[in-house]
Every structure is written in structure tokens, then in C-alpha cells.
Chain A
Amino acid sequence: EAQVTQNPRYLITVTGKKLTVTCSQNMNHEYMSWYRQDPGLGLRQIYYSMNVEVTDKGDVPEGYKVSRKEKRNFPLILESPSPNQTSLYFCASSLVTSGEQYFGPGTRLTVT
């Protein structure tokens, strides 16, 4: 089954404790992206990647890091999480040419 998986689905952590949210897709898509969803703000793009070893900043990259060492994986790293990073995070992937994105189920992160 074609899908985007994220782990963990729920995470509660404390300020400053490094964390990684994993994202994996099995559709051989070149384009992968991370978004955060906040009430009234919709989805805002954090980082995206056009292919292996190619990443670029989206709309709200501050406080986040990403890497793309393999085509299928695109982890999101928060080196020193802060309470304003409490949000619902989505990973997505697509073929570059079509642009239609497939979304993961989401990761709800709470930073206290």
C-alpha cells in the first residue's frame, strides 16, 4: 500500500530536549516536505527536499533541521525544542512533476 508514515504519532517533551520525528514514504517520490498546522494559520511549510541531499527552507524553518540521506526518509529534527513549537506536524511526499502530495497521519507534539 502506497503510504507516508510518521513516528511517533504523539510526543510530549520538555524544553531543550532534542527530538527527531521520522518520515518515510514507499512511493519513490523525489519531493518531500514538512509542515506544521496551527489553528487559524493553516499549514505552513518548514522544509522541503527535491531529492537526496537537496533540502531547502520553507516558510517557517527557524528551530528545525532536516536531512535527506535516502530517498525514502526525511526526518525532522528539533535540536532544542521550545513551547512555541507545540503543534501538529505533517510530512508529505510527491512526484516533482505532478505536485500532488500524499500526507502522513500527523505527529502531535507538545513541548512543556
Chain B
Amino acid sequence: AQSVAQPEDQVNVAEGNPLTVKCTYSVSGNPYLFWYVQYPNRGLQFLLKYITGDNLVKGSYGFEAEFNKSQTSFHLKKPSALVSDSALYFCAVRDKGNNDMRFGAGTRLTVKP
């Protein structure tokens, strides 16, 4: 079965600095990869996904992620962080060969003014 690891529980960055939230995955076949964001007392919102094609994926709110097959990683990045980016971020993977989803444990991003 597929699995996802988010090695950092917490990431702290200063406003205006670049941010990276890390994600590694394990699947037996080819992956569908996703990033979601959760604001306090809200459901998850989709940010971006990798299905196939270009390894650099651009998504909502200026976020992007790079698919690296050799390192089995899908790190989320943003060139310049905003205080409003502070939230809980989840990476998720779905094996193209089956239909269940696996989420990581989440990374809490705090952007300080």
C-alpha cells in the first residue's frame, strides 16, 4: 500500500522569505500526488496536484511543488511567504493502480511578520 511522510511537524519562516514543506512518498506503481491546506476550523482545500507531465506543478496562492521520481519527493514551495499562509499542510498520494488515498500527518506552517 502507498504511504506518505511529512518529516517536519512544524515549519517556521519569516514573511517574505521562501518556504519549503517537505513530502516523501512510497507507491508500488505510478503516483497521483496532492497538496492540501487546512485553515483553523475549516475543511481541507486543494492546492495543487501532480498527475503526469512537467515535474514542476503550479497551484493556488502562488504555491508550487516539484515532483522528483528518483527521490520519491513532492516538496511544496513558495518564493515569498505571507503571514496568511500560516496553516496546516497535508501531502497525499494515490496509486494509479488503486483508489484509496493516503495522507501525511501534516506540517504546521507558521509565517511570522
Chain A positions near chain B (C-beta within 8 angstroms): 4, 31, 33, 35, 40-45, 48, 50, 56, 58-59, 90, 92, 96, 98-106
**In the complex, are the beta carbons of B106 and A100 less than 8 A apart?**
no
Which B residues lie within 8 Å of A31 (CB)? 99
Select B103's contact among A35, A99, A100, beta carbons within 8 Å. Answer: A35
Select A42's contact among B49, B94, B105, beta carbons within 8 Å. Answer: B105
**In the complex, are the beta carbons of B99 and A40 less than 8 A apart?**
no
Chain B positions near chain A (C-beta within 8 angstroms): 6, 9, 32, 34, 36, 42-46, 49, 51, 90, 92, 94, 99-106
Residue pairs across A and B with Cβ atoms less than 8 A apart, 7 shown, are A40-B9, A41-B105, A42-B103, A44-B103, A45-B102, A48-B101, A101-B44
A87 to chain B, nearest CB (A): 14
Number of CB contacts from chain A to chain B under 8 A? 61
**In the complex, are the beta carbons of A56 and B106 less than 8 A apart?**
no
Which A residues lie within 8 Å of B103 (CB)? 35, 42-45
**In the complex, are the beta carbons of A42 and B90 less than 8 A apart?**
yes
Docked pose: A42 CA to B102 CA in angstroms: 9
Docked pose: A43 CA to B106 CA in angstroms: 8
Which B residues lie within 8 Å of A4 (CB)? 43
**In the complex, are the beta carbons of B90 and A99 less than 8 A apart?**
no
**In the complex, are the beta carbons of B102 and A59 less than 8 A apart?**
yes
Q: Which residue of A lies closest to B91 (CB)?
A: A42
Docked pose: A41 CA to B5 CA in angstroms: 11
Which B residues lie within 8 Å of A45 (CB)? 100-103
Q: Which residue of A lies closest to B107 (CB)?
A: A42
**In the complex, are the beta carbons of B99 and A56 less than 8 A apart?**
yes
Which A residues lie within 8 Å of B92 (CB)? 43
B19 to chain A, nearest CB (A): 20
Docked pose: A63 CA to B44 CA in angstroms: 24
Docked pose: A31 CA to B100 CA in angstroms: 10
Which B residues lie within 8 Å of A48 (CB)? 99-101
